[in-house]
Amino acid sequence: MSDLRDLYQQVILDHNRKPRNFRVLEGANRTAEGYNPLCGDKIRLYLSVEDGVIKDAAFQGKGCAISKASASMMTASVIGKPLDEAEALFHRIHAMLTGEATSTIDAAGDGLGKLAVFAGVREFPSRIKCATLAWHTLRSALSGAAEPVSTE
């Protein structure tokens, strides 16, 4: 368990320091805004979707290290994915972060790769919404919702 916690902290720090895909995406055809009022995290997500596949993804915003790292890893993991796989990934991450699985390892399951380190956030319940914000915003962008999404 301490290994997972160490890995979690390393990944959060790395992605917070050097967020991937932290830019405005020119030519994006799906965007969404997400806001986590508990922490003040705000992101704007940009997707370029062609032929049912997420060709590119990027984000802007400001917030805590967890929200930024989560958005960084979310964008990196959905680029190249068909929309239905991205949606499925949302459900798996959401279940991992908010579900009632008996251990974080069980909850993380396999196939999530580095995203599984976010299971570490379960030890800090007040920060779970920081980690889920990017994923809720992804879902909002995929569904074409016009209203900003809030974790509340």
Q: Shortest distance, CB of residue 113 to Zn ion, whole angstroms?
A: 23
Cβ-based nearer residue to Zn ion, 30 or 118:
118
Angle formed at CA 37 by CA 77 and CA 90, multiple of 5 degrees: 25
CA distance 89 to 144: 18
Q: Shortest distance, CB of residue 6 to Zn ion, whole angstroms?
A: 21
Tell me the one-letter amino acid at 50: E
CA distance 64 to 148: 19
Cβ-based nearer residue to Zn ion, 65 or 112:
65
Residues that bind Zn ion (CB under 5 A): 39, 41, 64, 67, 130
Q: Report how far apart the first and last C-alpha atoms of the chain are (Å, whole number).
A: 30
CB 39 within 8 A of CB 129: yes
Cβ-based nearer residue to Zn ion, 49 or 64:
64
Tell me the one-letter amino acid at 72: S
Q: Shortest distance, CB of residue 106 to Zn ion, whole angstroms?
A: 25
Q: Shortest distance, CB of residue 74 to Zn ion, whole angstroms?
A: 14
Cβ-based nearer residue to Zn ion, 16 or 31:
16
